[in-house]
Amino acid sequence: IKRTNAVTLLLLALMQSGALCARRFRGGRNPQPRRSPPPPTYRADRGDTTESFPLDFTAVEENMDNFMTQVKNLAQSLYPCSAQKLDYDMKLSFLENTSVTCNDGSPAGYYLKESRGSRRWLIFLEGYRYETMRRLMSSSTWPQTKTGTGILSPLPEENPHWWNANMVFIPYCSSDVWSGATAKTEQSGYAFMGSLIIQEVVKDLLNKGLNNAKVLLLAGSSAGGTGVLLNVDHVAELLDGLGHTGIQVRGLSDSGWFLDNKQYHCTDCVDAVSCPPTETIKRGIKYWGGVVPERCRQTHEGEDELGVSFSNMKHAPIVHASPVFVVQWLFDEAQLTVDNIQLTGQPVQESQWRYIQNLGIELRNTLKDVPAMFAPACLSHEVITRNYWIDVQVKGTSLPRALHCWDRSLNDNRNNKAPPKGCPVHLIDSCPWPHCNPTCPTIRDQFKGQEMNVNPVPSCTMGFDVQKMAQQQGMDPSKLLGMLHTGSLMKFCIYLKNNGKNNSKTLTPMDVFLLARE
């Protein structure tokens, strides 16, 4: 009831403000525009449950689209009340410390969209893995503005929980997985200063409102996601050392959980794409001067930087002092690429299928002890800045909802409250192959940009009509696929071999049960 009342009061306040604004704007006694007041802060039980006006949609989830449309329309009606029209773009600034640079020595920098009145900050690390393309090594071609999407979007219907936060986007121009601390030298000709860039951005932002922040979320995708795992504790230590102990530092790592595993086909290490992650890091780390979390170094004392870096991903929940939420596709395209698995839309070989299936198993095993995570069984790479990030679900929960639950649980923990019920933060798909989750995004050929149908199922099941089999049992096909988990596929193949693939024999409920329980 309290949540419903809060939502009702929000809508009434917006409507009243819109009406007052309209009267002034039509020529009343206040022709001069006034500065809009800061957004209200929601408080309950005299303790902060959320920071700086994120919306709690628990009470309106069943009619979310309609509610968000009303909020957007009402917010737009307030535009004339503001001295300036709302600006959705982030604006470019270069670092005050000019000695911290991109690969080529050009100045490093960041994009910022301030949200005055908000005490929540989101700093996003761009990805692209460890690249050698010239445009990703320099700031010389950066545009003056950038528009955020996904979790960086200022639109509440696209970004329901972080839409009004202060948004910061740091372009990736250091080619070092955000780990480097090495200046440009005559010998190498390149600087690798990713970790230092993050620290300098944080220092600059302290003079732009970050000093008053309550929450700082360090987020990133791909190489940026790995950068979050490597730097989130350094950011917390930096702020503590500068006297800002009240800022809660958290991490959000998207598609940065790379495995140190054996490739499907071993090849010569001639570039960053063909090399396995182990060899790439091994060759690059002496140039990067890479940094790792101190707690990780202490946990794995005696190992070299290479061992510590991959141990950090395997044991992230153990070694991080700061809370970290991990988002990871179970069948990550970047991981498959470095493992030399190429999916071109054609049915894959059975050996490839086994490799892909084992990759999902291995990822599940490394993620099982992560306290907060979201892992759909999809073939993709990166998600939190995509416009479809609100559509993907695991066990009926969307990613924005899971992040909101995580945020609430952290706040409740700080206030010595029990975690919210029915608000999951550990979500991992159990169905066994890529895109068995019906909410997975469309796959596109990375070279042609065309929509691609991938059918990575065992060769023994090619031609078998799963749709018809599901119809026989009166269930949804995706539910049947979920029942046929990893351990049952071999028996499923044997069944098909013995009974043919023409569906001439109707499966009984007992058949399905026996297939699914192995």
Residue 386 has pLDDT above 60, yes or no: yes
- Co-location of 169 and 62 in the same domain: no
Q: How many domains does the chain have?
A: 3
Same domain, yes or no, for 143 and 19?
no
Q: Which of 221, 222, 309, 398 is catalytic?
A: 222
Same domain, 269 and 358: yes
Residue-level pLDDT at 133? 73
Question: Ranked by mean pLDDT, which of 133-147, 234-248, 259-273, 433-447 comes out on top?
Answer: 234-248
Mean pLDDT, range 60-75, rounded to an integer = 56
State how beta strands 89-94 and 248-254 pair.
unpaired
Q: What is the pLDDT of residue 354?
A: 83
Question: 407 and 465, same structural domain?
Answer: no
Least trusted range by pLDDT, from 60-74, 335-349, 432-446, 487-501: 487-501
320 and 365 co-located in one domain? yes
CA angle in degrees (0–180, nearest 5) for 40-44-48: 75
> Do 17 and 138 lie in a common domain?
no
The model's pTM:
0.75
d(CA 392, CA 390): 6
> Has residue 459 got a pLDDT over 80?
no
**pLDDT score, position 187:** 81
Residues 110 and 144 in one domain: yes
Tens of pLDDT, residue by residue over 257-269, are 877 777 777 777 7
pLDDT, residue 385, reads 97
> 352 and 284 in one domain?
yes
Q: Select the more confidently predicted residue: 489 or 477.
A: 477
Copy the structure tokens of residue 255.
């598609």
**In which band, very low, low, confident or very high, does the pLDDT at 466 lie, cut at 50, 70 and 90?**
low
- The active-site residue, picked from 332, 339, 407, 429, is 332
CA distance 175 to 194: 8
What pLDDT does 108 receive? 98
Q: Which of 381, 404, 426, 435 is catalytic?
A: 381
The pLDDT of 405-431, averaged and rounded, is: 89
Cβ-contact 259, 164 below 8 angstroms: no
Q: Which of 418, 448, 420, 454 shows the shortest CA–CA distance to 435?
A: 454
* Beta carbons within 10 angstroms of residue 73's beta carbon: 11
β partners of residue 433:
none
Dig out the tokens for 276 from the structure.
Answer: 């396995």
CATH of the domain at 266: 3.40.50
Residue 66 burial by Cβ neighbours in a 10 Å radius (0-12, 13-18, 19+): exposed
- For residue 35, what is the DSSP state? P
Decide if 374 contacts 402 (C-beta within 8 A).
Answer: yes
Same domain, yes or no: 37 and 121: no
Percent of the chain with pLDDT over 90: 39
Coil, strand or helix at 218: strand
Of 181 and 73, more confident: 181
Query: Virtual CA dihedral for 376, 382, 388, 391, nearest 10 degrees?
Result: 20
Given pLDDT bands bounded at 50, 70 and 90, which one contains residue 46?
very low
- The torsion of the CA quartet 122, 67, 64, 152, rounded to 10 degrees, works out to -20
74 plus 102 within the same structural domain: no
210: which DSSP letter? Answer: G
pLDDT at site 232: 96
Examine the residue annotation and report whether 222 is marked as an active-site residue of this protein.
yes
Q: Select from 424, 452, 480 the last residue of a domain.
A: 452
Domain coverage including residue 505: 461-517
Burial of 79 (0-12, 13-18, 19+ CB in 10 A): middle
Pairing type for strands 145-147 and 166-170 reads: unpaired
332 is catalytic: yes
Are 113 and 148 contained in the same domain? yes
